[in-house]
Structure 1
Amino acid sequence: MTRPPGSRGGARRVRCRCGRTVLRQLVGNRAALDVTADADLMPAAAAAALREPNRLDWCVRRGRDGVELLWADCRRRAGECDRPHVIDHQCTAPPPAARPRRTTRTTPVPEGQLALG
């Protein structure tokens, strides 16, 4: 799982079920968002071009413990952001197979008798 928002551990590199390496991190301090983003770093303009209503881009800050994902609100500052960015991951793996539903089991004992087991 991901780290709690209070720990400043940064993003973890994990492998998605589709086989790609992705970055996972809880971003935010109060109502944290569980982010899974592609590990491919790109310029801010390229990430902004890939952004969609349900696919966000994230600013990447490099620190002593690795990389940390930040909200990409750096566009509000004057000029272009000089840090690399990443984009939310869109998994291409097929959905997991649905498990068959369990059916209710009838007990092989007469009604009213307790069954041990």
Structure 2
Amino acid sequence: MSRPRTTGAVDSRCPACAAPVITQWVGQVAALRATVDLTPLTPEQQATVREPNRLVWCLYQGGPHTPPRLRWATPPHPPDCGHPHVTEHRCITEPTTLF
């Protein structure tokens, strides 16, 4: 069995709506696979979109030569964090079929 990827993220596009997203396994013990939009959210927007099954993530960029990494944005995450915060992706358009 392969180990979940916990460092770095994969830039891609949503197969249904083609929105730019990042997908990454987050966590060390019980990893959660997150696919997030790349649009940063203001604190007000974060409060609006956060739901029990739709989390807000901190998009941490460690340095110029490291890939972005998602971090939990729940306590004890600092409220004045300077990194962008993003949320899990939800398609805003209906998926298209090829047939």
Per the TM superposition, whether the score is higher than 0.5 is yes
**Cα deviations across residues 60-88 of structure 1 (Å, max 9, x unaligned)?**
11023221000112x53565222210001
Q: Report deviation, 1:5.
A: 3.1
Q: Percent identity?
A: 39
CA distance in 1, matches of 2:73, 2:10: 18
TM-score (norm 2): 0.75
Equivalence for 1:31? 30
The 1:48–1:76 alpha-carbon spacing in structure 2 relative to 1, beyond 3 Å, is farther
Contact 1:44–1:83 (8 Å) recurs in 2: no
Q: Report deviation, 1:90.
A: 0.6
Q: Report deviation, 1:93.
A: 4.6
Unaligned runs of 5+ in 2: none
Segments of 4+ in structure 1 off by > 6 A? none
Equivalence for 1:60? 59
**Cα deviations across residues 6-64 of structure 1 (Å, max 9, x unaligned)?**
5x2x1111110211010100000111101000011234453233211211100111023
CA distance in 2, matches of 1:15, 1:78: 30
TM-score (norm 1): 0.65
Aligned pairs, number: 92
Within a 5 Å distance, the mapping from 1:1-117 to structure 2 comes to: 4-6=4-6, 8=7, 10-17=8-15, 18-63=17-62, 64-73=65-74, 75-76=75-76, 79-94=79-94
Contact 1:44–1:84 (8 Å) recurs in 2: no
- Name the SS for the 1:46 alignment partner: helix
CA distance in 2, matches of 1:35, 1:20: 15
**Partner letter of residue 13 of structure 1?**
D
